[in-house]
A = this chain, B = another copy of it.
Amino acid sequence: MPLAGRPTSKDVAQEAGVSQSTVSLVLGGKWSGRVSPATARSVRVAAERLGYRPNPAARNLRLGTTRTVLLMVPTLSAPFFGPVYTGAARVAARHGLGVVVSTWPDDADGPAESPFPAPHEAIDGVLASSMPAAALERFQGTPAVLLDSGPHADVPTVDFGVADGMRAIADHLTGLGHRRIGHVAAGVDQWTFRARAETLSAAVAALPGGALARAACAIDVASARDAAHRLLARPDPPTALVCDDDLIAAGAYKAARALGLDVPGEVSVTGFDDVLLATALEPELTTVRLPAEEMGAQGMTALLELLDGGRPAPRVLPGRLVVRGSSAPPRAPLPP
């Protein structure tokens, strides 16, 4: 209803004693040499008096564009997506576009698989972050850029150098002398976590005397704590826990404390992502910083290129190892 029942440009025209075209010209700012300054002023006064706002639906229909881009994320509760949005919105604003955010529609409740567009599809393009590979179907015909979802044949992508990041963690830990590594892995079907697991497996396998144990968990503290506990309770426990993200590392801290193990004295812990939590923990967390804001910005840049008819090249943003207080040599390093 709010789009209906509001004053229209026709009302403004009547109020100002001009035609609707004139109102549109004046308010559109294209009246230099077409409308006298006096008339323009009276139109603006009338618009102000009526509290006129152009009907966005009508404008979108006429112009064939909404100048709005949708950022789709799996969840708004993860702090990771704040910076992504910020970066995307900054670039978008520079081009006069707006950004709105939404999560995947909860197919649990509503009617499944409506052939109609969801309401939030009144948009020009989509930045889809951390997508399950299958879900791409829903964007039939909508220009889309995939963020943090791995390479794709047909769709432009922006990804982190996850493999390099995980390799840096592995090198860091093995450089400190660790050989028995535990992987507290996010049991989530996303490209980034698959890549993390594969890279770590390969790195440890290539290491003489290397041994990897893995436990999966959900992305929450309690579940991570339990998984880490399982690893630390093994007969031959790992001396370092590699966690799939910072929140999981917080769970690992808890497990270590519950077993009376000092971090990093008796067990090293690493995270991934470098969200706010990483420096809130004690000791501060060794982790890999991912340039999330840059991902948003690059993704938006690619999308703009795509909307301009271009074929944006895949982008990969390097992560950076940030060594803090949660990693140290194992208590009994191997003899030289």
Contacts and interface: CB of A to CB of B under 8 A. Distances in A.
A50 B159 CA distance: 32
A76 B65 contact: no
B106 A120 contact: no
A120 B98 contact: yes
Contact of A254 (B61, B119, B121, B282): B282
Interface of A: 1-6, 27, 47, 51, 53-58, 60-61, 64-68, 70, 75-79, 81-83, 85-86, 89-90, 93-94, 96-103, 105-106, 109-110, 115-125, 140-143, 220-222, 247, 250-251, 253-254, 257, 276-277, 279-282, 307
Contacts of A97: 119
The 4 A-B residue pairs whose C-beta atoms are closest, nearest first, are: A77-B82, A4-B64, A98-B119, A57-B60
A64 B280 contact: no
30 contacts: A2-B124, A2-B141, A3-B64, A3-B124, A47-B115, A53-B117, A53-B121, A60-B60, A60-B61, A61-B61, A66-B119, A68-B119, A68-B122, A76-B86, A77-B83, A85-B103, A89-B106, A90-B109, A93-B105, A93-B109, A96-B110, A97-B119, A98-B105, A100-B100, A100-B120, A122-B122, A247-B276, A254-B282, A257-B282, A277-B277
A120 to B, nearest CB: 5
A140 to B, nearest CB: 6
A143 B2 contact: yes
Contact of A79 (B79, B101, B110, B251): B79
A1 B307 contact: yes
Contacts of A101: 76, 100-102
A93 B102 CA distance: 13
Nearest to A246: B280
A119 B101 CA distance: 13
A60 to B, nearest CB: 4
A90 B107 CA distance: 11
A250 B280 contact: yes
A107 B324 CA distance: 37
